Amino acid sequence: MRFSHHAAGTVLLHKGQNVSGAYFVSRGRLRVYAIGENGVEATLYVIDPGETCVFALNSLFNDLRYPAWVQAEADTVVGCVPGPLFRRLFEREPAIRDIAVRGLSTVVFRLMEEAESACTQRLEQRLASLLLTRANAAGAVRMTQQQMAQHLGTTREVVARLLRVFVRHGWIETGRGRSVVRDAEALAGGVDADPRRGGGLRSG
């Protein structure tokens, strides 16, 4: 396996690019995303340490070009098993097949979650969920407003407006390149789940 280091923000794969092998994240995180006709990015799924890129496997086994873009969300180390070698290992090693199947099931589940979220939740709910999911033990979320917007498939200006509302309620604090969740319970319950009751953020 060959390893390569990629700084945060580096685009590793572009849509339409040939795939040279199977990719595994050793450290850091990769973001797989699409770009709409309006130029707005939307995250499809992320690849965490120990996980593989399922889109790359699909391209590898079906001789297809890569269908999306891949970017390093943080400083990331990626391992690559050359295509011919991975094909042989897949045929001979049950452990390799298990990795591929688990990777596929994980991505399918995440894509279903994202699709359900996009269809049933308003943007403020999705943003609150993103903050709560990405917060570390201290409540810190190391994402810029632009990164949040790209993940949610919206613009930075919209995210900035919603974050200001969250700050005004005392749920979070914001700083350069990060946000801090100060009241997770209030943030989680602070957006009305039923738009028929008025929708939007509660005035609290």
Query: Could you read off the pLDDT of 114-126 as tens digits, one per residue?
Result: 777 676 678 999 8
Shared domain for 110 and 93, answered yes or no, is yes
Q: What is the pLDDT of residue 70?
A: 97
Shared domain for 137 and 186, answered yes or no, is yes
Tell me whether residue 202 is in a domain: no
Greater model confidence, 92 or 105: 92
Query: Per-residue confidence at 200, pLDDT binned at 50, 70, 90?
Result: low
Shared domain for 79 and 140, answered yes or no, is no
Tell me whether residue 107 is in a domain: yes
Task: Give the total number of structural domains in the chain.
Answer: 2
Domain harbouring 176, CATH code = 1.10.10.10
Residue 12 lies in domain? 2-119
C-alpha closest to that of 30 among 68, 59, 1: 68
Q: Comparing 53-62, 145-154, 187-196, which segment has the lowest mean pLDDT?
A: 187-196
Round the average pLDDT of the chain to a whole number and report it: 87
Query: Per-residue confidence at 195, pLDDT binned at 50, 70, 90?
Result: very low
**pTM attached to this predicted model:** 0.68
Domain end: 119, 135, 167, which one?
119
